[in-house]
Amino acid sequence: MKSISFNHSKASRPRSNSSSSLTLLLFTTVFLLPVALLSRSPDDFAKSIMETPSGDAADIAYLGVDGAGQSIFATVSYSEGVVGFLAVADDGIQGKGFAVDFFQGKDLGKRIKSEIRNKLYMPMGNGSPADGVPRDDFSIRATATLKVDRPGNYTFITRSDDGVRLYLDGKRVIDQWKPMGTTEFRATVPLQSGRNYRIQLEYFEQGGPGHLELLWQRPGSAAPAHLTTAGVLSPVSLLVPETRGIHSTWAAEYFKGNDLKQSLLKRSENQIDHDFNKVGPAPGLPRTDFSARWTGRLKIPEPGNYTFYTTSDDGVRLFINGKAIIDEWRGMAPTEHSAQVRLDGDADIVLEYFQGGGGASIQLEWEGPGSARTILGPAGGFRALQPDLQKNFVRRILTPAAAQTGNLRKGIPLRFALLSGGIESELSLFSVQPDGSIKRTGSYEGYSGLQAIFEEDTMILADSAGLLRFRPHETMQQPEILREDAGEIKALCSSGSTVSAVYSREIYANSTNLSLQSVLNDGEEILTAACLNSDVLVLTGSRMLFLRPAAGSEWKLLLQSPVPDSLIRSAQSGSRLQVLQPESKTFVLGKFIFAWQEKDLEVLFTASGPLRCAVGPIPVCLDSGSAQLLQFPAK
């Protein structure tokens, strides 16, 4: 047996990560489609198709519920072991999507055609964006209704070659109507939750390559994502409650000139992150020769050293408990200044700023114990979390069963494990705590055939050493050996207090080896298996059997069916059987999704490569062959 170690390390520092792995989302309706449809390509009934940004997503799993109530799925990249979060968003574009009109010429002339798109992502190159539209000298107008689910500053991002204009409720927030190579522009706008906004994007392509994208970045999100219709699985940040920051909001006051005497405007602001180069602080206020003061009360849940960063054009002063820790009251180009101060409890904070002429911007960030550098905003909201993990050659991400997953809103940690390596494997366990800290709780070194599953408070492992149980949260240094080496395990599962391990001709359950001689033919062996509570589904070289424990050590054969050669070949190549929907007896093997329809097996879907699936609030699968995200329409 190889070594076992238990690591009780400090939390990893969160970091932003713009790359996010995407997935294949299968709603339950796909399983009810008539078999006649299943000979079509996935495009016939998929809602959207896109390639994963990294192209090397290894697996998909359901983690549980984050601090904002989002049901979180996670992918992990094979090469770097970076975890990306996804959720089915309730906010975004309402209805069917963007109403997109194509026009002749650059100035929205004669309309060519209209269509509906669930997002604006058009990497045209030297081609056309749609049938019937020319490659060059055309324009586009896309309109939609946008609804957000939390208040705050939203950043809208366009990437275009050539010109682009973006309007929100009729106000032009991006205006770059000129020929250019692919260029990104941003506009940050405060939005209120619960109300609808009309969004409109205009674009023209003059000649040469063409490109158009519209993205947004939500408050608390670490990275932007394409602005899509609500209900679409999309990259998100895992959010945890923000317990540190400003009590309530900043009290902001703007003045004429740089002496902070002649008040022009008072208002509340969530954060100090302003670019005044294009627009002043408010309609009617000057864009130059003004000053501002922001006053707040810091909430400090943990004593320690805190560092504050100002980036300003022009002058800036920062006071903590009345003491100036940054004093740079002079004209300057955008410049960063920082200062560190020891805080043992809540503190008063004041930031002062003046703009003399030319460029104009001001930003205030901070970092402290267990918290990465971020904009200083209100406590009581949410903080984006991204684990800083680097595990090369990750093969699987493992989580507890859906009924046992965590819920940060209820104070229950999210637990997951990464299985990495080649000939030798390493299982690394992690826990996301309700306060946002990410802890590595244990590790196990085994061999390439290592398998593992979660129980309520333990891990069950199977490799060449046998069948093992260990408790990563306790101090024990050696596992409990449930069964010594007895050959390759075809399936490993747990139901309540019962651990089941399926071998080629027997099943270990309830600390007993149960023979399958009464249900297997001479020479017949199990290729792969899966468990449905206490029942077991097994696939041999010729048939599939649905078994249930009977009295004593006997097994009752409930159903059996011949198996298509394609499924047998998948099992022979090493693919493992997985339950996707227990109620409808729907399973995954290799690149096939199939169901037990009365006495026969019917293939419902064929992907381009092996599928990796997660069972949470919705079934989610990753097509590892094409690295594609397919979302099927909901009922």
Kind plus residue range of the DSSP H or E element containing 568? helix 565-572
The dihedrals phi and psi of 541, each to the nearest 5 degrees, come to -75, -5
The answer, yes or no, to whether residue 5 has pLDDT greater than 70, is: no
Which CATH topology does 245-380 take? Toxin - Anthrax Protective Antigen; domain 1 (3.90.182)
Could you tell me what percent of the chain has a pLDDT over 70? Answer: 87
User: Do 97 and 414 contact (CB within 8 A), yes or no?
Assistant: no
Q: Given this model, what pLDDT does residue 472 score?
A: 65
User: Do 511 and 517 contact (CB within 8 A), yes or no?
Assistant: no
The answer, yes or no, to whether residue 50 has pLDDT greater than 70, is: no
Angle ∠(543,548,553) on CA atoms, nearest 5: 110
Pairing of strands 57-65, 406-407: parallel
Q: What is the DSSP string of 124-135?
A: EETS-SSTT--S
Q: pTM of whole model > 0.75?
A: no
Least-confidence region, from 451-455, 476-480, 530-534: 476-480
Rounded (to 5) percent helix, strand, coil in the chain: 5, 55, 40
Mean pLDDT to the nearest integer, 130-159:
92
- CA separation for the pair 305, 339 (Å, rounded): 10
Q: Given this model, what pLDDT does residue 286 score?
A: 82
- CA separation for the pair 32, 25 (Å, rounded): 15
Q: Given this model, what pLDDT does residue 480 score?
A: 81
The answer, yes or no, to whether residue 34 has pLDDT greater than 50, is: no
User: Do 390 and 80 contact (CB within 8 A), yes or no?
Assistant: yes
Instruction: State pLDDT tens for residues 65-102.
Output: 998 888 898 888 888 888 888 887 778 999 989 999 99
The CATH number that domain 92-230 falls under is 2.60.120.380
Angle ∠(439,58,32) on CA atoms, nearest 5: 110
DSSP state of 142: E
Using the Cα atoms of residue 608, residue 613, residue 615 and residue 618 in order, give the sign of their dihedral.
negative
- CA separation for the pair 506, 486 (Å, rounded): 10
Secondary structure of 323-371 in HEC code, one letter for each residue: EEEEEECCCCCCEEEEEEEEECCCEEEEEEEEECCCCCEEEEEEEECCE
Q: Which of 412, 503, 420 is nearest to 456 (CA)?
A: 412
- CA separation for the pair 450, 444 (Å, rounded): 10
* Buried residues in 367-379 as b, exposed as e (16+ CB within 10 A): bbebbbebebbbb
- CA separation for the pair 316, 310 (Å, rounded): 8
User: Do 361 and 274 contact (CB within 8 A), yes or no?
Assistant: yes
Domains 4-89+386-631 and 92-230 share a fold: no
Q: Given this model, what pLDDT does residue 54 score?
A: 52
Q: Given this model, what pLDDT does residue 634 score?
A: 42
Q: Which residue has the tokens 């106000």?
A: 171
Angle ∠(293,298,303) on CA atoms, nearest 5: 145
Q: Which of 202, 192, 184 is nearest to 152 (CA)?
A: 192
- CA separation for the pair 629, 48 (Å, rounded): 7
Instruction: State pLDDT tens for residues 540-580.
Output: 988 999 888 776 667 888 888 888 888 899 999 888 999 88
Which residue pairs, CB below 8 angstroms and at least 24 apart, start in 570-573? Answer: 570/610, 571/527, 571/528, 571/539, 572/527, 572/541
- For 141, other C-beta atoms within 10 Å of its C-beta total 18
**For the chain, what is the mean pLDDT?**
82
- pLDDT-derived band at 41 (thresholds 50, 70, 90) equals very low
The answer, yes or no, to whether residue 495 has pLDDT greater than 90, is: no
For the chain, the straight-line distance linking the first and the last C-alpha, in angstroms and rounded, comes to 50
Domain residue extents for the chain: 4-89+386-631, 92-230, 245-380
Class of domain 4-89+386-631: mainly beta
Q: Which residue has the tokens 């609808």?
A: 196
Which residue pairs, CB below 8 angstroms and at least 24 apart, start in 541-550? Answer: 541/568, 541/572, 542/568, 544/596, 544/601, 545/519, 546/585, 546/596, 547/516, 547/519, 549/509, 549/514
User: Do 225 and 17 contact (CB within 8 A), yes or no?
Assistant: no
Of residues 402 and 434, which shows the higher confidence score?
434
Name the residue type at position 96.
Answer: K
Could you tell me what percent of the chain has a pLDDT over 90? Answer: 34
Angle ∠(536,537,541) on CA atoms, nearest 5: 135
